[in-house]
Amino acid sequence: MKAISNQLPFLSEKFEVGPRKIVVKTLLDIEFPKGHIGVKSFDVEVVDEDGKSVPLYETYLHHWFAVKYIENITMSHYIKQSHDLHNGIEFERNDGMCQGFLLPHYWGLGGESRGTSSNLPNPFAVELGNPTKLKDGFEEKWLFSIMVIDTRGTHDRKEYTIPRNHDSDSPHIKKANISTTKGGYLVYGTAHMHTGVVNTTLYGQDGRVLCTSNPKYGTRKEPGNENGYLVGMSVCYPKPGSIKIKEDEILTLESIYENKFRTGAMGHFYIYLADQISNKDLNI
């Protein structure tokens, strides 16, 4: 694999926003590092035409996703003309929990992107471009999907459905049980949530806490610290080898939101598992 120690910045195509406008774009075959590589982090920033960071109270970054796919290169011209994602394109999965097209491996966050670390601890990385794993006649490519909302001139800058219980100040709690398909050692965990979140926790089948991701809310005006906005989620970096998830283990994800009316509350939880941990990783 190639050893790449520096950051590689790329720019998407430009898009225009205006007061009270929403922009949703999906860009195929984006510029992406080539070859057999290991990616340790993937971060996104919304900037203006001068390259300056745009604050959330002007253009709210609802979400962004970078998704790998493989394309039948003999059909690439047809696909570009038709924009049909079902002809010649396949979304490759890793060994994650959500099967089928639903949530293949991707990088993606939202308004909290600037304050949430995506960096994997050494020596771990996401392997990409392995030629021995690529089907004949196919090429590995990436798409980028983004949704931004220009909130200037709006009356209510929050979107998100929590029926408020006026008789209680208790937080709004939701839980979901998810079955793993492959086990491993937890090396990274964090959540993508929306404003109003208290925290979100991933539990093992025996009730043990695997990771709790806590929010950071802005207190000022500058980009990355916008007052009242969710600007970051904490990341779990367990001691290597300390947390093992078993194959077919039933995990429980618990999200806690404030007891206030919102529409469309949601959340994702990201974890990375290592197949094995060496003595060097354990500092033995």
Q: Which two tokens stand for residue 23?
A: 């922009």
Are 257 and 265 in contact by the 8 Å Cβ rule? The answer is yes
Q: Is the peptide bond before 123 cis (omega within 30 degrees of 0)?
A: yes
Q: What is the pLDDT of residues 83-118, one digit of tens each?
A: 555 567 887 767 666 655 556 788 999 999 999 999
Mean pLDDT of 66-72: 89
Q: Is the pLDDT of residue 222 over 60?
A: yes
Ramachandran angles phi, psi of 113, nearest 5°: -55, -45
d(CA 115, CA 61): 13
The beta strands (E) that lie in the chain are given as 22-27, 37-39, 59-72, 89-90, 106-109, 126-128, 138-150, 172-179, 184-192, 197-203, 209-213, 215-217, 230-233, 244-245, 250-257, 268-274
Q: How confident is the model at residue 20 (pLDDT cuts 50, 70, 90)?
A: confident
- 160-187: pLDDT as tens digits: 455 555 566 778 888 999 888 889 999 9
Q: Which residues contact 255 (CB under 8 A, 6 or more apart)?
A: 173, 174, 175, 191, 193, 197, 200, 267
pLDDT band at 4 (very low <50, low <70, confident <90, very high): very low
Q: What is the pLDDT of residue 1?
A: 36
Amino acid present at 156: D
First to last CA, the chain: 26
Mean pLDDT for all residues in the chain: 85
pTM: 0.86
Answer yes or no: is pLDDT of 190 > 60: yes
Average pLDDT over residues 56-85: 77
| pLDDT band at residue 266 under the 50/70/90 scheme | confident
Tokens of 243: 């947390």
Per-residue model confidence (pLDDT) at position 2:
41
Give 284's pLDDT tier (boundaries 50, 70, 90).
very low
d(CA 114, CA 269): 17
The answer for residues whose C-beta is within 8 angstroms of residue 275's C-beta and 6 or more apart is 184, 185
